[in-house]
Every structure is written in structure tokens, then in C-alpha cells.
Structure 1
């Protein structure tokens, strides 16, 4: 990990080349590749917000994989625990729809799906983030679950981030997510996740729950305290990666406040400040194409 700060937060999951709509040099409509995938988006956002972050997962050596590597390195993400693979990168073709951005995902036989070697968690890591398509298919899904089980004294942040179109064995997938929820200190889900899953049980009284409502804001609940905050009104370019940026914004506030620990000890004012930070980060990101995370300076000075 020479040359980069040792990671305080490990973002564990998929690296995806998002192909987002763009106007080409000749004026025609096309697509441009940008870094994507839940773990990549979260890691880049954390790094841009000043948090030492690392990426854990399969990273292809193909042209799209090299683009992902370059963009993470440019942001300052530590890649010492990334597994370099010959398999192709996962691709996601973005479509802008009236109710948000949707993706066609191409993941069969990808470097991310065949990730099969859980690294040893470095001593500096205070939190690990899991979720997304990386928890659907083996061997990657089992590898990430084993990594979460290894980190017994670290904060585990789980974002369900369910992609129903990729789920081929719903029983096994639900069972895996249930086991991870029982271990997690934080469970984040969207309204869409809740619609697919149904009522998610409260498995631990000290578990922080975050429910994102898109343009309507987000809710945080810890113990007997619950708070819902609206999202700022902004002109939306697209909603790519907004949930990942929300996660990173909340994690960054916890790290900067020296509260990134397990079990979490947050009062109502802490919850409000954390959620405000996350919502502001997400609101700024959706004003720009792709998962364009704000910097710490932008978050302090820009009014979304």
C-alpha cells in the first residue's frame, strides 16, 4: 500500500464500467464509459471526501478494467487488495427514464463475479462496506460473505442495492442477505429494495437502518430514535450512483467525527448531522452525469 494512505474504509464488491448517454464529437448520440459499481462509487466518493478508502474485489485487466483502475487511482483509492483478473469487466448500459436511471447489466463470467480470494483485513480498516450485485452469484458472493465474517471487530455497512433482473436463485440470495443483515451494524436499503424484499425484520436493537427515498430524502433509525430528512430540490442530470454517494457521505461524517466504530453510539443530533451530510453529497452528485462524487470542499461550499 506504498504511496497511498492505508484504508480506514474497505469498499467490497463490484467494479462496473457504466456506459452513460453522451454526445459524441461528431454531434451524434452515443455513450461514454465512466467508473461505476457500488463499491467503486463508494470508494471514490470517500476518497474525494478525504477518507482513506480501499477497493476489494475483482478488477479486470481489459480496457474497461484499466479505465476503472485509473479513475480509482486518480481519486486516491488504495487498490492493494484488488484482485487483478483476465476476465472482462462488468458493463452497465444506462437508460434515462422519467422515474430515474436504469441499467442493462452484462456480468456473466466477469472479473467481479469470479472474485474468489478474501484478503486479510488490514489493521487500519475500521469499516467494511458490502452490497450490490457482488452478493448475488458465487464464487464472489461467498467470498464477500466470508470476508464480512472475518471482520469481527469492524463496523459492517450493508447496502442491499438489489438488482432483481440478475437474481437467479432468490431463496439462496435472500438467505445470504439475511445472514449478512444479522452481522451488519448498518443496513441501508431503498424504497425499491423494500418493494422487492417485503418487510425487512429488525434483527439487532443497536443496528442503524437507513432507508433512501430518492428525491424525497432519507430516513435513519437507531434504537428508539428515527429521523426523516428531505432532499434538496436540484436539477437532475441523472441518478447514477446516488445511493452509493449517500452511503459514502454518511460514512465520511462518521469518520470525520471519530464515530466510525462498532457498536455505533449516536444520539439524535448525530443522526441528523450524518444523514444531512449524506443527502447533501448525493444531491450534488445527481446534478452531474455519472456517479460524479463531490469533493469535501464542494460539500462545504456548494448549495445543492
Structure 2
């Protein structure tokens, strides 16, 4: 099982009502929630660990997880409210305004860790849950523990407006990097993590020195790059798509990467350490394919497996479905 750990919230999607007035439609979302949903739709039967509310919005989130085959029994439930994120779209690009104080997702502490089943082989962390306190410590300590025998993938997906103490956040991020095997960063994330005149590729190589065996760099319409092994580099172009908006694009890409690594039989510590360039190319291309479908639709709406006929890459071990 792939266990996705991080926030689930309600995205308030802008729309126009029948009278032409601006309005918002509630839609379950959150960076890590989106990745879990995408994995479920691809048939991976993932798990989800978060702080979930028993309120109206929390039930919407739980129903959405169940509908996509995502197991959420490991989550911590409370009657605290659900985080809300109001989305502002500018030329198809999403900006987020969060309402997150004293919410079920945020108020997690280290003593709330559930036991992680042996069936979990890989754990994914990301999003605002790695920034805000106290839940950031809940997830970072869990990552450190899991890294002893499980593959850990991290996408910091940095939201600068959430960072109150930059030095404390950078220190926590370094702890997380030391615990992870796969780090995925956008070009914007990378320039924030490693400011300075170096190229993106040079910065990605520097981050590998902090712990990850593989760094995946995404650059929007300019494609994705993976650095791994003995500084091997694989580049893939972005998939052409009619972009409606970019909500959930990176989250869906991450799900595609995890799904493809799993199908290729390399989602293990030994597998990541010895992965070949041909498999990495297939993995990145599949991530780009599923992300392209997501951006062609409104909101975070990852594809289902039945929509991918003819798109699954020919992995080296002969498997061709997820």
C-alpha cells in the first residue's frame, strides 16, 4: 500500500450563479488528498492519513475518499472544523486563501501517531501540512520513523504565505529531506529552497546531497527532469493539453509517478537506489500524461484508469496496467 499523509480540506471553487453573481462551490481537495484520490482512481488502493473532521465538510471528504477506493481508517478524527481554501483564478492559475486556524487537520500532535501496517511499502508527504504547526511535527516525525524501512516521497509544495518563521521551516525541511528517498519540487519551490545564481539543475543536484536518492524537478509547460543514481539525468517534455486550470496538476503528477514506480516494481528502497534511466523516463512520462488530463478539466479532477487506454507506458518488467 502507498500511504498518503497530509492535508484534506475543502476547496471553494469560484463560479457564477444563475443571477450572474460570483459564488463558490465546495469541493473536497488539498494537495495530499488530491494525490490519494488520483492513486485510488488509478487502481492502486492507497491509504490516507490526516486529521479529519466529523463536520459536514469532513463527511464530504470521507465520502470522496471512499468513492475513489482510498482507505482512511488510519486518520485521526475530531469535531474540530475542516480547513477551507478559497481559490482565486488568474489566467487559469490558482491562488489560494486558507482558513486553517484550530482545524482538525492542523491540530495533530506527535502523540497521535497511529501504528503503520506492514502492508505499507511507501509513504508520501506534502503540502501545507509540512508548514503549519503543530501538525508539521506530526508528519515530520512520522517520516523519520517510516524512513527506516519504507520509501518516503516528499513534495513540499511551498506556500510562502503560510511560513511564519523561515528559519524554523528551513530546519524542518532539512530534517525531512534527510528522511526522504524521492523529492519532487517545482521550479518555484526549488528557487525558494535554494536561492542564488545557480541553475535549476545545479540546485537540484545540491539538494540530493541532503538525502534524497532522486530529485524530480517539474517546470510546468517545460516538462520534468529527474536526477538520480550517479547524477544521471532524464528529461521529458510536458504533454500538450488545453489548460482549463492548474488546480491539482502537481498532485496528480505525483500520483502518476508513484503509480508508475509501483507498476514497474521499483517502489522499494533497493528499487529506487538501482532504478534505470529507461524506467525513470517511463515514470516521468506517465506522470506528465495524467497531469495533462487533470489540467484539461476544471479543478482537481484526476483521470480514472479506464480513461487511460493506450496511454500506459511499456514498463521494463512487462507490466502495462495500473
TM-score (norm 2): 0.88
TM-fit CA distance, 1:23: 3.6
Q: Quick one: which of 20, 33, 46 aligns to 1:40?
A: 33
Output the CA distance in 1 between the equivalents of 2:243 and 2:92. Answer: 11
TM-fit CA distance, 1:26: 4.9
Q: Quick one: which of 206, 214, 224 aligns to 2:220?
A: 214
1:10-36 alpha-carbon deviations (Å, 9 max, x no partner): 100111111112243555432211121
Q: Which residue of structure 1 lines up, in the alignment, with residue 207 of structure 2?
A: 201
Moved more, 276-285 or 16-25: 16-25
Unaligned runs of 5+ in 1: 1-7
Cα RMSD (Å) of the superposition?
A: 1.7
TM-fit CA distance, 1:58: 0.3
Output the CA distance in 2 between the equivalents of 1:157 and 1:216. Answer: 22
Q: Which residue of structure 1 lines up, in the alignment, with residue 100 of structure 2?
A: 107
2:162 is equivalent to residue 166 of structure 1: yes
2:305 is equivalent to residue 296 of structure 1: yes
2:141 is equivalent to residue 134 of structure 1: no
The total of aligned residue pairs comes to: 296
Alpha carbons 1:43, 1:54 under 8 Å: kept: yes
TM-fit CA distance, 1:213: 0.8
Q: Which residue of structure 1 lines up, in the alignment, with residue 248 of structure 2?
A: 241
Alpha carbons 1:189, 1:210 under 8 Å: kept: yes
C-alpha spacing 1:98/1:153, structure 2 compared with 1 (3 Å): same
The DSSP-based 3-state class of the residue aligned with 1:244 is helix
Output the CA distance in 1 between the equivalents of 2:149 and 2:92. Answer: 40
TM-fit CA distance, 1:131: 1.5
The DSSP-based 3-state class of the residue aligned with 1:201 is helix
The correspondence of residues 29-178 of structure 1 with structure 2, limited to 5 A, is: 29-98=22-91, 100-116=93-109, 117-151=112-146, 152-178=148-174
TM-score (norm 1): 0.93
1:156-202 alpha-carbon deviations (Å, 9 max, x no partner): 00101000001001111111111110110000111111222224532
Output the CA distance in 2 between the equivalents of 1:164 and 1:28. Answer: 31
